[in-house]
Amino acid sequence: MQLDTYGQQTQVLSQSANRVLRNTYMLLALTMVPTVAGALLGVQMQFSFMAGSPFIAFLLFLGISFAFFYGIERNKNNGLGVALLLGFTFFMGLMLSRILQVALGFSNGGSMIAMAAGGTGAVFATMASIASVSKRDFTNMGKFLMVGLVVILLAGVANIFLQMPVLHLVISAAV
């Protein structure tokens, strides 16, 4: 009898986890719309965020980004948080537009962007399938991945000064 109750509780928890996962994927898909809209608008308008003063532009970018982070965190349990998240993704698409303009200037720029988008989509779909089908709990990997991220970021900053092609290759492979 206890086994049935345990089995039912597992089923309820599994349904709840699947609902959260489904809602997360839906929100992620929704955030792609303003990102693409921002990138498209930025490319069409030849947007360049304060190109004359890159350091001030970087500080302004950080300020705007952290203001969005703060607003999203403060309103994460209401509709304003979702609106701020969509605004943030639009802003990030707008910021992405300059690099897209450079890539589109190459002879194979369009196919390069399409391949990057397709590869990202394929990796996401694969990882989402693994996460939703697997019965394993992946939360224990969080600390390991966070330490790896910090190491990669430190190596990236170090490589700005060291200019080692092998280190660049290792960082790219790790990421």
Distance CA 39, CA 35 (A): 6
Q: Would the CA dihedral through 69, 73, 76, 80 be positive or negative? A: negative
| Lowest mean pLDDT, pick from 13-22, 34-43, 135-144 | 13-22
Separation of CA 141 from chain center: 18
- In tens, the pLDDT along 3-36 reads 445 555 455 556 777 777 778 888 888 899 999 9
Structure tokens at 101: 């303009």
Mean pLDDT: which of 11-15, 52-56, 67-71, 141-145 is highest?
A: 67-71
N-terminal to C-terminal alpha carbon distance within the chain: 49
**At 140, is the pLDDT very low, low, confident or very high (cuts 50, 70, 90)?**
confident
| Lowest mean pLDDT, pick from 7-16, 47-56, 80-89 | 7-16
Name the one residue in this structure whose structure tokens are 């080692």. Answer: 164
